[in-house]
Amino acid sequence: MAEILLFHHAQGQTAGFTAFADELRRAGHPVHAPDLYDGHTFGTLDEGLGYARKVGFDAFVEHGVAAAADLPAELVYVGISLGVMPAQRLAQTRPGARGALLIDGCLPVSEFGPAWPAGVPVQVHGMESDPLFAEEDLAAARELVASTDRAELFLYPGDRHLFLDSSLPSHDPDATKLLTQRALEFLATS
């Protein structure tokens, strides 16, 4: 069993995001899912990103880092799209990280330090033709995988962003099923 800190995507804590958190809980994992948008949700990705720009991406990340302050150090950090920012930062900089799942996003490792921390496993998941993932995040994910033997990159056929979220039109049930299976296997060994 892994204790998880799960960060939502730019549209906020949608029903699909909550469903994913509940799936992890049903598998026996304690899940902390802070609302970094203070109750706001958005109908489109553009609206959600607009809100994130207004609040400030740095403030979003700092809010996520603050959410970890009262939690144990031995967490698996999970981020979906925009939520990858605080998840990856914490996985790279907070001692005790047990792992990271980065979904629909990956930043260059150099964003938060000189290297991925030794001994911290990580999985990156994204759709191979998703323009938001393939443009920059895919290269960062490949560099991450090349930098450590504890990293895996999983690409799914398609071009959808936020394909994991069952409440959005971009949802892909087959890719979600496979991602969830891989994530649960990862969590069972983290």
Domain parsing of the chain, residue ranges: 4-189
Q: In this structure, are residues 148 and 116 in contact, taking their beta carbons and an 8 Å threshold?
A: yes
Please tell me the predicted confidence (pLDDT) of residue 1. 86
Residue 159 CA to residue 185 CA, distance in Å, equals 25
For the domain spanning 4-189, the CATH number is: 3.40.50.1820
What confidence category does residue 88 fall into, taking pLDDT thresholds of 50, 70 and 90? Answer: very high
Question: Can you give the pTM of this predicted structure?
Answer: 0.97
Q: In this structure, are residues 102 and 86 in contact, taking their beta carbons and an 8 Å threshold?
A: no
User: For the residues 1-16, what does the mean pLDDT come to?
Assistant: 97
Q: What does the pLDDT look like over 18-52, one tens digit per residue? A: 999 999 999 999 999 999 999 999 999 999 999 99
Percent of the chain with pLDDT over 70: 100
